[in-house]
Amino acid sequence: HVDDWNIGHLNTILDVVERESGITIEGVNTPYLYFGMWKTSFAWHTEDMDLYSINYLHFGEPKSWYSIPPEHGKRLERLAKGESRFFPGSAQSCEAFLRHKMTVISPFILKKYGIPFDKVTQEAGEFMVTFPYGYHAGFNHGFNCAESTNFATLRWIEYGKQAVLSHCEAQSKTDMSPVAFQLRTKPLIPEMCFTTTSCNTELNLSAPFLEEDGTSLLISCRKCNVCVHASCYGVPKDKAVEGWMCSRCEEDAMTQDCCLCTLRGGALQKANDNRWVHVMCAVAIAEAKFVNIAERRPVDISKIPLMRFRLVLHRKYFVEFICGDRPKAASSILSLQGKDADRDIVLGQTVIAKHKNGRYYQSEVVKLTKETFYEVNFDDGSFSDNLFPEDIVSRDCLNLGPPAAGDIVQVRWTDGLVYGAKFVASHTIQMYQVEFEDGSQLPAKRDDVYTLDEELPKKVKSRLSVASDMRFTEIFTEQEVKQEVKRQRVINSRYREDYIEPALYRAIME
C-alpha cells in the first residue's frame, strides 16, 4: 500500500486547488522528476508561494542540501539586496529576484556575515522536507533521480498571504489564476535578418506578428510538438491558437528534411521547388530569401549554388570530445586527420610520448603490456578510473579479482590515507613501455602516445622537444671547479680607512 509515502497522494489543503478549481500546476500540486548529474546544483531560493516541499531520492548518488532557518530568511535577502553587497542591480530590477533561482552565495560568505545555516546529505531512499520561507540550495554528488512536489498545511496560509511574487519571470511555473497562461518571449533573431538577403537591398522593417514590447507568442505544433515564435514562423494571431499545426504537418510531409543541412526535424517551410528548408537555414544562407516575408514562405532557393546544398562532412572528419579525469571544461576539436585510437602500435615503432620532465620527445616502443585499472566513485563525489587492484585495501583483488559493481570498498590514495568509495568497473587497457634517448622508460596509454603521422594537439606541439638529456655523459669532459678557492672580496671605498686586516684583527683580540 503506497499511499502512506507516495508524494503524489499527500492529500493536503493544496490538493483542494486541483479538485475544486481544476488547476494543475506542474511541480507544485503534481510531482516532478529531477535527474541530477555530477556537480549540478540549485541556487538559493524558497518554494513558490513559500510552500512546503518534499523531495524523495529514488536512486543514485547523494544530494547535499544547505538550508537557512525561516526566521533568518530576511537576513539572507538583506545581504543579497544590499547596495554594497552582491546583487544590488538584480534587486533593483525585481524585488523577488531570489525566486529566479540564479543566486549563488557560498556558505563561507553566510558564515562571515553571521547567517546560520545547516548542511545535510540526502541518500537514496530518504525524504527531504523544506518549510515555508526556508531558503535552501544544494548540489548532486553524481547521477541520481529525485521526485518532488509542494504541499501546504494550515500553518502555511499566513506565509502564503505574505509571499512576495516575481512578476518579471515569464518562466514562472506558478500561476494562481485559472486563466490559461500564454508564454511570450523576445525572439533571439532580429526581424531584420528575415528581410535582408544578398539579392535585395531594400529593408522591410515591419513586424506584423510582434507585440509592442518586442515579444512574440510561443506556439507548439499539435502533431510534431515543434515549438516556435509566432513571428519567426509567420503565424498570425488569429491562427496562433491551440491545435495549430506547422506547414510540414499540414501537408503530411513528415518524412521530408531540410535540403540545406543534415539536421532532421525542426521548423521547416516549403521552398519554391517543393523541397523543404529550415527557417534558420533560410536566414543563415545569404542567397535564400522569403517570397512572403510576413508569412515566412515560400523560401526562394533558386539563387543558391548547387555546391552549397547538403554540405556534409566527409566520413573521416569527426569531432572528438576530450574530458579529463577530474571535472573541468570539455574541449571539442574538429580534426581533418584526427588521432586514430584504434590504430595498432607495434614493437620498436618510433612514437612521441611525454617525458618525466613534462615535455614531449621521440621515443621507441620497447614493450607491450596489458594493465588492469579499477574505476570507483568516492564518497565526496569525485572519481578515479586508474586505480591499481592493490589500491583496494578492503579486498584481496589480486587473488579474488575485482569487486562486484556497486560494492562499497576502501581505497588507499596517493596521500597514504584510506577513503570510502563505490566500485564501478574494471578496465583492461593496452599499455606501451617507451624508451627515451636518455635511457629512461615510462609506461603510457594509447591516448598519451602519438605516431609520427598523427596530427599533434596544440598543447603537445608547444612542448615538443628535439631530444631528451643525453645518456652518454662520460664522453664529455668538464673542468673541475675548485670549491676551496674563494673570490677576493672588494672593499667599499667608503669604508676603506676603517678596514682592518683579519690577521691584525686576530692579534688585537688576542
The set of catalytic residues is: 27, 34, 45, 47, 136, 148
Q: How far apart are CA 137 and CA 143, in angstroms?
A: 18
Phi, psi of 276 (to 5 degrees): -120, 145
Q: 432 and 443 in contact (C-beta within 8 Å)?
A: yes
Element at 292 (helix H, strand E): none
Element at 439 (helix H, strand E): none
Q: How far apart are CA 422 and CA 404, in angstroms?
A: 10
Please list the helix, strand and coil fractions of the chain in percent, rounded to the nearest 5, in that order.
Answer: 20, 30, 55
Give which of 442, 435, 307, 325 is closest to 383, Cα–Cα.
Answer: 325
| Residue 316: count of CB within 10 angstroms of its CB | 10
Give which of 451, 505, 481, 258 is closest to 343, Cα–Cα.
Answer: 451
| Residue 151: count of CB within 10 angstroms of its CB | 20
User: Which single residue is written with the C-alpha cell 592493490?
Assistant: 390
Bridge partners of 320, per DSSP, are 333
CA dihedral sign of residues 157, 162, 167, 168: negative
What is the DSSP secondary-structure string of 223-260? TT--EEEHHHHT--TTT-STT---HHHHTT-TT--BSS
Distance separating the N- and C-terminal Cα atoms of the chain = 104
CA dihedral sign of residues 209, 24, 20, 12: negative
Give which of 430, 435, 433, 383 is closest to 409, Cα–Cα.
Answer: 383
Cα→Cα distances 10→55, 115, 135, 453, 508, Å: 12, 33, 22, 65, 101
